[in-house]
Amino acid sequence: MKTHYRACNLCEAICGLVITYRHGAAGTEIISIKGDPDDPFSRGHICPKAVALKDIYEDPNRLKRPLKRFIAEDGTDDWQEIGWEEAFDEVADRLRQIRSSYGANVIGVYAGNPSVHNSGTFLTAPGFIKALGTRNVFSASSVDQFPHHFAAWQLFGHPLLLPVPDIDRTDFWLIIGGNPIASNGSIMTAPDVANRLKAIRQRGGRVVVIDPRRTETATRADQHQFIRPGTDVYLLLAMIQFLFAEGLVRLGRLATVTHEVDSLRAAVADFTPDVAASMTGIPADIIRQLTRDFAGADRAACYGRVGVSVQTFGGLCLWAINVINLLTGNLDEPGGMMFTTPAIDVLGPAKPYRRYDRYRSRVTNRPEFMGELPVSCLAAEILTESADPDWSRIRAMVTSCGNPVLSTPNGCQLEEALGQLDFMVSVDIYLNETTRHADYILPPATGLETAHYDLTFHALAIRNTSRYSVPMIDKGPDARYDWEIFEALRFRLESDTYDPATAPAPQDPAVQLDKGLRYGSYGMNNGNPAGGGLSVQTLLEHPHGIDLGPLQSQLPDRLMTETKRINLLPVSFQQDLHRVRAALTAPNRVGDELLLISRRHLRDNNSWLHNTHRLVKGPNRCTLQVNSGDARRLGIGQGQLVEVRSRVGRVVLPAEITDDMMPGVVCMPHGYGHHRSGTRLDVAQKHAGVSINDLTDELRLDELTGNASLSGVPVTVQAVLT
Ligand SMILES: Nc1nc2c(c(=O)[nH]1)N[C@H]1C(S)=C(S)[C@@H](COP(=O)(O)OP(=O)(O)OC[C@H]3O[C@@H](n4cnc5c(=O)[nH]c(N)nc54)[C@H](O)[C@@H]3O)O[C@H]1N2
Ligand SMILES: Nc1nc2c(c(=O)[nH]1)N[C@H]1C(S)=C(S)[C@@H](COP(=O)(O)OP(=O)(O)OC[C@H]3O[C@@H](n4cnc5c(=O)[nH]c(N)nc54)[C@H](O)[C@@H]3O)O[C@H]1N2
Ligand code: SF4
Ligand SMILES: [Mo]
């Protein structure tokens, strides 16, 4: 029996694992997967998803060789396995052909969430996309954290300069629109968040949760307030207004680099707690008390996540959250919101960031941000013909690590659009609701078969840490790593005379990672002595990972704004306040409408871990949670099937009556809807559920950032009479 140590790459918590296994005649047998008590960061914690690494490895549905679509004799579509070189040649040929006939922009790209959980993809997919030369790049970022990036860019000068809550040292953790007990934390890598949260309370601190649902996190907090979905901006503006009105502003150390304080005070003057109360449903006295408590705490962190990001005022919400931390002296201070000093810094050298509005989406005229267009616009870009031959519709798609049919708004529309493409290729390990539309699927080695360094999540962690994982299982000669796939395609796209016999072999990402470590803040080649300094070799000698200490204050030096100062009220946010004012007079709800929000469950991972029996067994989790008062009014019984309708679609699912829901709000998980035909997901199909994104609306988005507004979708709910 052998033992292997690695970091789990399934979610942002990057827990250390101890895996025991043995090699036998029938291949590798994984005996156990447990938390690694010697990992200084995760301290032995794991969640039930970790065992999925075994299930994915063993899953008979997981693809291992390229699949090509063909038309069978009976006229139906079918798939055949082909060789890798053949697949690379054919895919690259088709992409080149399409590009030379219509221009590069007719090729669309969608990169999904695991792109940031795989260092091979993270390092090589951008080079491939650049070689395609298209502007039509989309990703899961615009159904998730675009507002975080936008606010970070505007305030601190770079979209990736994201502050994280220093929860191990805080006395007051205000959580708005996040449920870390279920999600294990996001834009806050904090393994074992439950014990870290408990520790705050044990040392006399407070945890307050603002959420339309009494979540698993809310029940562990000192205080929970329901909030009407999509209205957080009023709460946050009122907190800023009240901080000024009560003289609670303490800029502290950052006062000298912070400007436009008076403009901010004037801009928020009319957003009082009373105004906020009428919009949010939170009593004004509670807003005042919350603001006083937050400002009065020695060390406080106001943290917002998906719930405040995927809404109509997501950009303003994230801006306001940063502003509240700044005004109360909690930005860049221990126990507040801090920046990491990662071992490998992905931000690059300080230079003005200009990747915004360099071009716009053709049909919807939305500005580019970080080299991407909002994914809410993708279906329209495929479906809308253009008279302009230079600006054709998207005719081909490349997807990688993504399942946008289930994860982006109006999934049915996107599904229809994907069906109208001339060509599609997916880099993915499953034949699922999205990749079934492809002509070729290229499945990389994954999980236990790969080496891994968490470039993204070490950079967003609540402590500075570093850890490198080597493959546990040899992928075998028939498989390819993700970086081999992207590099093989890039080489072919870049050169007209590509010849595999003479072409260079793709470079193993370990080389780049080693360089990043060696020349990084703790690197061997960066003034840190050999032995003490980091390199891939040092990390190999420390298989449980290395703790590099608590987060350090680093402003103003770290600021990447051109002025090296923080403008509290950038023009973009100031202008967007007009939208907030206009919405004040719009009705909260019309007639019988309820507002739909999403939820995560500890045993789900977006859309893609439903093919493991261990994670889907038990009671059906794909239910519509409804408050008991609403259920009574609508004549809905516990477990009864209900029909939910929105502007874009309808779904039918069982009701779950619970007073954990705010009255007027209903809730569904996302990532279900596996009833769609043509997939190879034997287990998931038996636990199909329905997709919330057949209800979410591609026309609802945050005008400022282009992020989808998935929260607070107006729906009607009706009992299905059987
Ligand atoms: N209504 C609603 N919708 C939401 C959300 C919500 O809260 N509510 N959340 C949004 C958020 S935050 C996100 S991030 C998105 C996620 O949206 P997506 O990223 O589009 O969806 P996932 O379900 O994460 O899909 C992951 C895909 O990657 C594949 N995969 C897994 N491992 C690998 C690998 O190693 N290599 C490759 N190449 N592929 C792999 C899986 O098979 C799957 O197809 O969903 C968003 N959609
Ligand atoms: N188990 C599990 N873990 C995951 C994932 C998963 O699918 N399953 N997905 C991963 C991904 S991709 C991400 S991005 C992270 C997300 O991590 P989190 O942000 O912690 O994710 P959620 O659990 O969706 O929490 C969002 C909360 O916002 C609330 N909410 C909805 N609308 C509003 C609103 O208008 N205002 C306020 N104040 N709250 C609102 C919801 O009720 C919910 O409790 O989780 C990651 N971890
Ligand atoms: S919390 Fe996340 S990183 Fe930790 S074991 Fe679970 S899925 Fe893996
Ligand atoms: Mo996400």
pLDDT tens-digit readout, 17-61: 999 999 888 889 999 999 999 999 999 999 999 999 999 999 999
Indicate which atom in ligand 2 lies nearest the CA of residue 180: 20
Decide: 602 in ligand 2 pocket, CB within 6 A.
yes
Assign 156 to helix, strand or coil.
helix
Pick from 220, 223, 600, 711 the residue to mutate for probing ligand 2's pocket: most ligand atoms within 8 Å of its CB: 600
Residue recorded with tokens 């507040």: 336
Q: What's the confidence (pLDDT) of residue 350?
A: 75
**Helix or strand (DSSP H, E) at 644:** strand 641-645
Q: What's the confidence (pLDDT) of residue 589?
A: 61
CA distance 394 to 177: 35
Mean pLDDT throughout 521-548? Answer: 92
Pick from 12, 186, 310, 713 the residue to mutate for probing ligand 2's pocket: most ligand atoms within 8 Å of its CB: 186
Considering only CA atoms, give the Rg of the chain: 25
Q: Is the pLDDT of residue 351 over 90?
A: no
Mean pLDDT throughout 534-557? Answer: 97
Q: Is the pLDDT of residue 530 over 80?
A: no
Residue recorded with tokens 């649902």: 213
Range with the poorest average pLDDT among 72-81, 249-258, 313-322, 574-583 = 72-81
Q: What is the pTM of this model?
A: 0.98
Q: What's the confidence (pLDDT) of residue 680?
A: 98
Sign for the CA dihedral angle at 492, 496, 501, 503 comes to negative
Answer for the pair 90, 442: CB distance below 8 angstroms, yes or no.
no
Confidence band for 242, pLDDT divided at 50, 70 and 90 = very high
By DSSP bridging, strand 624-626 and strand 650-657 are parallel
DSSP code at position 441: E
Nearest residue (CA) to ligand 1, atom 30: 401
Evaluate the omega torsion of the peptide bond into residue 556 and state whether it is cis, within 30 degrees of 0: yes
Indicate which atom in ligand 3 lies nearest the CA of residue 10: 7
Nearest residue (CA) to ligand 3, atom 6: 47
Q: What's the confidence (pLDDT) of residue 241?
A: 98
Q: CA separation (Å) from 33 to 30, 39, 115, 465, 484?
A: 8, 14, 24, 22, 28
Domains and CATH numbers, the chain: 154-331 (3.40.228.10), 589-719 (2.40.40.20)
CA distance 499 to 551: 49
CA distance 609 to 670: 12
Mean pLDDT throughout 617-646? Answer: 98
Task: Enumerate the β-bridge partners of residue 360.
Answer: 367
Confidence band for 386, pLDDT divided at 50, 70 and 90 = confident
Q: What's the confidence (pLDDT) of residue 352?
A: 86
Q: What is the pLDDT of residues 115-150, one digit of tens each?
A: 999 999 999 999 999 999 999 999 999 999 999 999
Q: Is the pLDDT of residue 639 over 80?
A: yes
Nearest residue (CA) to ligand 3, atom 2: 11
Instruction: Look at phi and psi of residue 41 and say left if phi exceeds 0, alpha if psi is from -120 to 50, else beta.
Output: alpha
Q: Is the pLDDT of residue 504 over 90?
A: no
What angle is formed at CA 52 by the lines to CA 51 and CA 58, rounded to 5 degrees? 105
Task: Enumerate the β-bridge partners of residue 450.
Answer: none
Average pLDDT, whole number, for the chain? 96
Q: What's the confidence (pLDDT) of residue 349?
A: 77
CA distance 201 to 184: 18
Answer for the pair 109, 126: CB distance below 8 angstroms, yes or no.
no
Which ligand has the minimum distance to the alpha carbon of residue 436? 1
C-alpha closest to that of 109 among 423, 356, 392 = 423
Q: CA separation (Å) from 671 to 311, 338, 411, 582, 689?
A: 18, 32, 11, 33, 9
> How many angstroms is it from 394 CA to the middle of ligand 3?
37
> How many angstroms is it from 258 CA to the middle of ligand 4?
31
Residue recorded with tokens 């880099």: 427
Q: Is the pLDDT of residue 605 over 80?
A: yes
Task: Enumerate the β-bridge partners of residue 18.
Answer: 5, 34
Decide: 452 in ligand 2 pocket, CB within 6 A.
no
Decide: 53 in ligand 3 pocket, CB within 6 A.
no
Task: Enumerate the β-bridge partners of residue 139.
Answer: 111
Residue 202 corresponds to which tokens in the numbers above?
């044990």
Mean pLDDT throughout 387-403? Answer: 89
Mean pLDDT throughout 481-508? Answer: 92
Assign 713 to helix, strand or coil.
strand
Q: CA separation (Å) from 315 to 148, 180, 223, 377?
A: 7, 21, 26, 18
Confidence band for 588, pLDDT divided at 50, 70 and 90 = low
> How many angstroms is it from 345 CA to the middle of ligand 4?
21
CA distance 630 to 589: 14
Answer for the pair 311, 596: CB distance below 8 angstroms, yes or no.
no
Decide: 232 in ligand 2 pocket, CB within 6 A.
yes
